[in-house]
Amino acid sequence: MKIILNGEPRDVTASRLSDLMEELGFAGAKVATAVNEDFVPAGARAQTKLAEGDRLEVLAPMQGG
């Protein structure tokens, strides 16, 4: 299915967020996730399913002032 990952269209196979993070290469990474603009804590990724067109944000530590 097609989702929007960090603003870009992306074809993915997994629908469960925890599986999807693995598929996208983010397993074990220091990142936080939001689906359709709502925060999904790491502990809730296994219970969170994505559907066609959902927007996933994967945010990481970055430079800041």
Partner 1 sequence: MVMRGFYGHTLANPLMLGTAGYPSPAILAEAFRASNAAVATVSLRRESAGGAGQDFWAMIRDLGIPVLPNTAGCHTVKEAVTTAHMAREVFDTPWVKLEVIGHTDSLQPDVFGLVEAARVLTEEGFQVFPYTTDDLIVAEKLLTAGCEVLMPWGAPIGSGLGLNNPYGLRAMRAEFPDVPLVVDAGIGLPSHAAQAMELGFDAVLLNTAVAQAGDPAKMAKAMAEAALAGQAAFVADPMEPRDMAEPSTPVIGKGFLE
Please name which of 47, 53, 54, 1 lies closest in space to residue 23, comparing C-alpha atoms. Answer: 1
- CB 10 → partner 1: shortest distance, Å? 11
Q: How far apart, in whole angstroms, are the C-alpha atoms of residue 35 and residue 9?
A: 14
- CB 32 → partner 1: shortest distance, Å? 4
Contact residues for partner 1, defined by CB under 8 A:
6-7, 25-26, 29-34, 37-39, 41-42, 57-65
At 42 the three-state DSSP class reads helix
Nearer to partner 1 among residue 46 and residue 59 (C-beta): 59
Nearer to partner 1 among residue 21 and residue 50 (C-beta): 21
Q: How far apart, in whole angstroms, are the C-alpha atoms of residue 24 and residue 37?
A: 19
